[in-house]
Amino acid sequence: MDKNIDRHESILVIDRRGLESEICENVNRHEINRYVSYLIIDKVIAILGMLILFVAFLHITAFVNTPLPSQFCLNSHIAEIGIIPGEQPIDYYLYGKVAEKVYLPEAPFIKNGKMYLPVQYVAFANGIKNIITSGDRVIIIDNNQKITIDCRYKEVICNRSKINVQNSLIILNKNVFLSLDVIKKLFAVETKINKNKITIIVPKSKIFVQSFT
């Protein structure tokens, strides 16, 4: 009788130890899983934080390097060329100055239902300052991109691609004009027309692309 009791007690002790061991293993496994989960979450948060900072940096870079909108008026020799925020002193912002008034030797005009703008000043509106006139050619250099306007053959050469512009190119007193539809494609800009006002808008996406080329 006593031996049976001892046997049962020893079995109960073994079962209790086994149960305790299993409980400990489950607890340890749960703790490990929780630690791994926290580790993964921390890594994901860190990566997302870096991506957010990178995108914010790109947006700030695009903002300070993107010219503000420029305005041209039909039959007017005065145009407003949007400033590039990152290139101007702080007093521009204190006085709310967003554009520079410039005098156009020849005014924008309409011919055969097309609007024409002076190429040189459209380039300025894009923040491009490297413009070379050589004989019958106007060469515009923007970062790694080179645009050559051949006034004699009425062709535009851009990144080895040749575009025949013909009636879309007009020369007035040595000033080269292109039609608005060609300008939009050539400079990758947006335009808004309000009566006799033409607004040139340089999209920030263009600055993103230029940053990586």
In this predicted structure, the answer to whether residue 96 has a pLDDT above a threshold of 70 is no
| 61 lies in the same domain as 108 | no
- Band of the pLDDT at 11, cuts 50, 70, 90? very low
In total, the chain counts a number of residues equal to 213
Write the pLDDT tens digit of every residue in 143-176: 777 888 998 888 888 877 888 888 899 998 889 9
Write the pLDDT tens digit of every residue in 57-85: 666 666 666 778 899 999 999 999 987 76
Which comes out higher in pLDDT, residue 139 or 205?
139
CA distances from 46 to 17, 36, 51, 126, 155 (A): 43, 15, 9, 37, 51
| 57 lies in the same domain as 91 | no
- Tell me the three state secondary structure of residue 204: helix
Q: Identify the domain boundary among 65, 87, 116.
A: 65
Domain carrying residue 38: 1-65
At 167, which CATH number?
3.30.457.10
Question: How would you class 92 by CB atoms within 10 Å of its CB: exposed for 0-12, middle for 13-18, buried for 19 or more?
Answer: middle
**pLDDT at 119 (0 to 100):** 92
If you search the block for the tokens 């009566």, which residue do you land on? 195
Q: Identify the domain boundary among 65, 85, 102.
A: 65
Q: Identify the domain boundary among 18, 39, 65.
A: 65
| 7 lies in the same domain as 105 | no
**pLDDT at 68 (0 to 100):** 81
pTM confidence score: 0.67
**pLDDT at 9 (0 to 100):** 46
Antiparallel, parallel or unpaired: β 190-194 and 197-201: antiparallel
Domain count, the chain: 2
Antiparallel, parallel or unpaired: β 197-201 and 145-150: unpaired
What is the rounded distance in angstroms from the CA atom of residue 121 to the CA atom of residue 128?
9
| 92 lies in the same domain as 180 | yes
One-letter amino acid for residue 14 of the chain: I
| 128 lies in the same domain as 147 | yes
The mean per-residue pLDDT over the stretch 119-143 comes to 87
| 50 lies in the same domain as 85 | no
| 151 lies in the same domain as 115 | yes
Mean pLDDT highest for which of 11-20, 191-200, 202-211?
191-200
| 169 lies in the same domain as 75 | yes
| 145 lies in the same domain as 179 | yes
| 159 lies in the same domain as 71 | yes
| 82 lies in the same domain as 114 | yes
Which comes out higher in pLDDT, residue 21 or 44?
44
**pLDDT at 26 (0 to 100):** 57
In this predicted structure, the answer to whether residue 8 has a pLDDT above a threshold of 60 is no
| 160 lies in the same domain as 61 | no
Q: What percent of the chain has pLDDT over 70?
A: 68
